[in-house]
């Protein structure tokens, strides 16, 4: 048995764990990193990266069949599904060296390719190595949640961990789950030539603002995706190529392939957390505001911490705990400035409170300002006028923003900056955006906040009138 001592032990080489390892080792700490599966974790291998690559293939196919509005003849795209998957694999291979064992060993991290399990509050065993660490970071992420639907164990199905290895295009893809993963893959596949049915027990894109989500869902239905809401799956039957899903209300959906996209479960089973005195909740590992577990020496970050499950949140968590673990300085996480985006077309993005959440919290004091893409010249030029931004404002300070439309995931960045730094609408209005850009939408919605105060104010008009009479 080999024994090691280190300053920081990181369990999990996904985005959060890699960020901690790279930051800590470059600041002079001794770091050991454990990874029993693939370097880069879910995001690189099964999540953000391959899904966006497949979405790009779908966009290319869709553009060929919808070019007429630009003065270019429509053509029926010839989709090679296996080649699209080669594109996905190529994208992963291009990014993989950044997350590789070789790169991190080059930085000075001791990388051990084994799963880790606690054997005491300060010790973790990985294979035949026992590591003692001053501080331990659990960054084991999450995996697809597969609910115990009767019959599911008797039919073949895909998850995000297997879908990108599928080489044969599904004739008719059934997707259980209308969240971001389900809706992104639904649109990608219908554009690549599959029929698609989404089966959602509640409301599709239910965590987003209903008004902006409806803009996205309308487009997806227009493209031919069947979206069955309020359809809780009660039984699954059939065989490969002929699968049936029956909902509790009696509706039956038939297809050739099944994708399970109902959510995520945190990866804690292999950790033996009891040996370290670490408590869990239904959501994941129990943490405080500084991301410490019930063992004061151990942190949990990213998906496994049971909060917002996004790659960029894991990266943000890494920054929070590096301040605490390396410099012994107080550091707390915040959530009100964390954005998220769904990369359908049009895109859907959110930061802070939705309109419903803001109204519940602030009532009649809330102001909601809106601006439609149809009034943006760049959107008009590119025929991408379907979209809306709305910003929730309290006493001049934005507390949330919802965007549906082209490049919503890019536009939300400004509002994430605004909320992170507690800026006001006047600071957004002071920004000068280049013309013509979609970025002008952000400035114009700020202008929509001030317009009634300036142009509909009798007092302003009286003051201007007086000044004009006084001027020579």
Do 377 and 313 have their domain in common?
A: no
Assign residue 278 the CATH number of its domain: 3.50.50.60
pLDDT given at position 467? 80
* 386 domain residue, yes or no: yes
* 57 domain residue, yes or no: no
pLDDT given at position 472? 76
Phi, psi of 423 (to 5 degrees): -80, 170
Q: Give the model's confidence band at 460: pLDDT under 50 very low, under 70 low, under 90 confident, else very high.
A: confident
* 83 domain residue, yes or no: no
pLDDT given at position 469? 79
Rounded CA gap, 144 and 384, in Å? 34
Nearest alpha carbon to residue 207 among 234, 171, 175, 183: 183
For residue 184 the two structure tokens come to 């992104």
395-413 mean pLDDT: 98
Rounded CA gap, 307 and 329, in Å? 23
Do 299 and 437 have their domain in common?
A: no
- What are the residues whose beta carbons fall under 8 Å from the beta carbon of 458, sequence distance 6 or more? none
- Beta-carbon-side half-sphere exposure of residue 14 (alpha carbons within 13 Å): 32
Do 252 and 348 have their domain in common?
A: no
- Beta-carbon-side half-sphere exposure of residue 126 (alpha carbons within 13 Å): 22
Please give the C-alpha separations between residue 5 and each of 22, 28, 123, 131, 134, in angstroms, as whole numbers.
18, 15, 9, 6, 8
* 349 domain residue, yes or no: yes
Assign residue 352 the CATH number of its domain: 3.30.390.30
Give the helix/strand (H/E) hosting 101.
helix 101-107
pLDDT, one tens digit per residue, over 93-138 is: 999 999 999 999 999 999 999 999 999 999 999 999 999 999 999 9
DSSP per residue, 267-329: --TTS-GGGGT--B-SSSB---TT-B-SSTTEEE-GGGGTS---HHHHHHHHHHHHHHHHH--
Do 320 and 350 have their domain in common?
A: no
Domain count, the chain: 3
Rounded CA gap, 99 and 102, in Å? 9
pLDDT given at position 102? 98
Residue bearing the bigger pLDDT, 458 or 211: 211
Q: Look at residue 140 and tell me whether its pLDDT is greater than 70.
A: yes
pLDDT given at position 455? 65
- What are the residues whose beta carbons fall under 8 Å from the beta carbon of 152, sequence distance 6 or more? 146, 236, 260
Mean residue pLDDT across the chain: 96
436-451 mean pLDDT: 95
Nearest alpha carbon to residue 315 among 302, 298, 329: 302
pLDDT, one tens digit per residue, over 185-217 is: 999 999 999 999 999 999 999 999 999 999 999
Q: Give the model's confidence band at 452: pLDDT under 50 very low, under 70 low, under 90 confident, else very high.
A: confident
* 217 domain residue, yes or no: yes
* 472 domain residue, yes or no: no
Do 314 and 445 have their domain in common?
A: no
What stretches of 108-209 show up as alpha helix (H) in DSSP? 180-191
Do 304 and 174 have their domain in common?
A: no
For residue 449 the two structure tokens come to 């906040």
Give the helix/strand (H/E) hosting 468.
helix 458-470
Do 29 and 136 have their domain in common?
A: yes
Q: Where are the beta strands (DSSP E) in 82-219?
A: 110-112, 117-120, 123-126, 129-138, 142-144, 172-176, 195-199
- What are the residues whose beta carbons fall under 8 Å from the beta carbon of 163, sequence distance 6 or more? 185, 259
Q: What percent of the chain has pLDDT over 90?
A: 94
Name the residue range of residue 374's domain: 339-455
pLDDT given at position 454? 64
The model carries a pTM of 0.94
Q: Look at residue 342 and tell me whether its pLDDT is greater than 90.
A: yes
Q: Give the model's confidence band at 461: pLDDT under 50 very low, under 70 low, under 90 confident, else very high.
A: confident
Residue bearing the bigger pLDDT, 164 or 471: 164
pLDDT, one tens digit per residue, over 271-311 is: 999 999 999 999 999 999 999 999 999 999 999 999 999 99
Do 140 and 194 have their domain in common?
A: no
């Amino acid at each position: 048995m080999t024994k090691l001592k280190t300053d920081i032990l990181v369990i999990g080489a996904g985005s959060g764990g890699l960020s901690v390892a790279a930051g800590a080792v470059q600041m002079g700490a001794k770091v050991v990193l454990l990874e029993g599966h693939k370097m880069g974790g879910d995001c690189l291998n099964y999540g953000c990266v391959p899904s966006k690559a497949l979405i790009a293939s779908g966009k290319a196919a869709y553009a060929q069949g919808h070019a007429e509005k630009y003065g270019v003849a429509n053509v029926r795209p010839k989709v090679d599904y296996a080649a699209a998957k080669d594109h996905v694999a190529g994208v992963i291979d291009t990014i993989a060296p950044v997350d590789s064992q070789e790169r991190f060993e080059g930085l000075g991290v001791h990388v051990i390719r084994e799963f880790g399990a606690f054997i005491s509050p300060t010790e973790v065993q990985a294979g035949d190595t026992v590591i003692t660490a001053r501080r331990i970071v659990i960054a084991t992420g999450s995996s697809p949640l597969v609910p115990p639907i009767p019959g599911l164990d008797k039919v073949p199905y895909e998850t995000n961990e297997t879908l990108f290895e599928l080489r044969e295009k599904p004739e008719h893809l059934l997707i259980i789950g209308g969240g971001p993963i389900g809706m992104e893959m639904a649109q990608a596949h219908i554009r690549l030539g599959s029929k698609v049915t989404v089966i959602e027990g509640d409301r599709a894109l239910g965590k987003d603002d209903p008004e902006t989500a409806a803009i996205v869902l309308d487009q997806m239905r227009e493209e031919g995706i069947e979206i069955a809401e309020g359809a809780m799956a009660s039984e699954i039957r059939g065989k490969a190529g002929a699968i049936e899903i029956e909902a509790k209300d009696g509706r039956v959906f038939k297809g050739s392939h099944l994708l399970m996209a109902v959510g995520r479960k945190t990866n804690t089973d292999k950790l033996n957390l009891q040996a370290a005195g670490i408590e869990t909740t239904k959501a994941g590992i129990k943490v405080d505001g500084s991301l410490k577990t019930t063992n004061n020496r151990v942190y949990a970050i990213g998906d496994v911490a049971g909060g917002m499950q996004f790659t960029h949140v894991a990266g943000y968590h890494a920054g929070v705990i590096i301040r605490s673990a390396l410099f012994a300085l107080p550091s707390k996480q915040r959530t009100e400035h964390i954005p998220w985006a769904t990369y359908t077309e049009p895109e859907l993005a959110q930061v802070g409170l939705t309109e419903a959440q803001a109204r519940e919290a602030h009532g009649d004091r809330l102001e909601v300002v809106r601006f439609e893409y149809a009034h943006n010249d760049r959107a008009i030029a590119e025929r991408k006028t379907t979209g809306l931004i709305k910003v929730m404002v309290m006493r001049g300070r934005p507390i949330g923003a919802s965007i549906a439309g082209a490049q919503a995931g890019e536009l939300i960045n400004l509002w994430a900056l605004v909320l992170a730094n507690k800026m006001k609408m006047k600071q957004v209005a002071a920004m000068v955006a280049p013309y013509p850009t979609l970025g002008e939408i952000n400035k114009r919605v700020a202008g929509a906040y001030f317009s009634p105060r300036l142009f509909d104010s009798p007092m302003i008009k009286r003051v201007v009138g007086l000044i004009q009479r006084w001027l020579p």
